[in-house]
Amino acid sequence: MSELHLPLLYSRKLWEFAYLFQALYEQDKLTPGKRGVGFGCSEEPIASYLASRGVSAVVTDLPAEDMRSQGWAATAQYAASLQQAYKPDLVSNDQFNNLVTHRHIDMAQLPADLTGFDFCWSICALEHLGTIAQGLDFIKMR
C-alpha cells in the first residue's frame, strides 16, 4: 500500500490491489513496454501506478449514458474520463497521458479491436455483470 500512497486498511479492494500487483510482478508484467487493459476501472489508482512503472494501460468503464453508471458515479466508483483515473501522487501528468488511455465499453459486449495486451485486470467489477454465468462468459471472451 505504501507504493500506492494508501493507508493500510483491512479492505477487500486494497487486498485485491496488492494481489494484482504481486501477480503482475511475478509474471514480469510491471516492466516498461508491457500493455494492460482494465475493466470497470472507476477511479482506482492502478493505471497511475502502472504508468509510473512505464507500463501502458487502457482503462475502461461503462458509457455515461448507461443507467448503471449513474449510481457508481455518485460513489466515486465510475470514471467518465481519463483524468478521473489519474493520481498525481503516483505519476506525472505527462507520463500518465503518454501511457494511459480511456475507453467506454460494456464488459458484456467487448469490442473486437480490444486485443494485443500482455495482461488484463478487473477489481470489484466482475460481479456487476449480473450472474455467475455472465461472469464466466466474460472471462472466456478474452
CATH of the domain at 65: 3.40.50.150
Q: Please count the structural domains in the chain.
A: 1
Residue 24 in any domain: the answer is: no
| Per-residue pLDDT at 75 exceeds 60 | no
- The closest of 11, 16, 4, 23 to 125, measured between CA atoms, is 16
Tell me if 17 is assigned to some domain: no
pLDDT of residue 68: 58
Euclidean distance between CA atoms 52 and 47, whole angstroms: 9
105: DSSP letter? -
pLDDT digits (tens, 9 = 90+) for 40-68: 888 899 999 999 999 999 999 877 665 55
12 found inside a domain: no
pLDDT at position 91: 97
Structural domain harbouring 55: 34-109+116-141
Burial class from Cβ neighbours inside 10 Å (0-12, 13-18, 19+) for residue 114 reads middle
- Establish if 23 belongs to a structural domain: no
Structural domain contains residue 7 = no
Residue 49 covered by a domain: yes
Q: Does residue 93 belong to any structural domain of this protein?
A: yes
Residue 21 falls inside a structural domain: no
User: Which parts of the chain fold into alpha helices (H)?
Assistant: 12-26, 46-52, 67-73, 93-99, 132-141
Task: Provide the β-strand partners of residue 57.
Answer: 36, 100
Dist CA 61 CA 43 (whole Å): 10
- CA pair distance 57, 36, nearest whole angstrom: 5
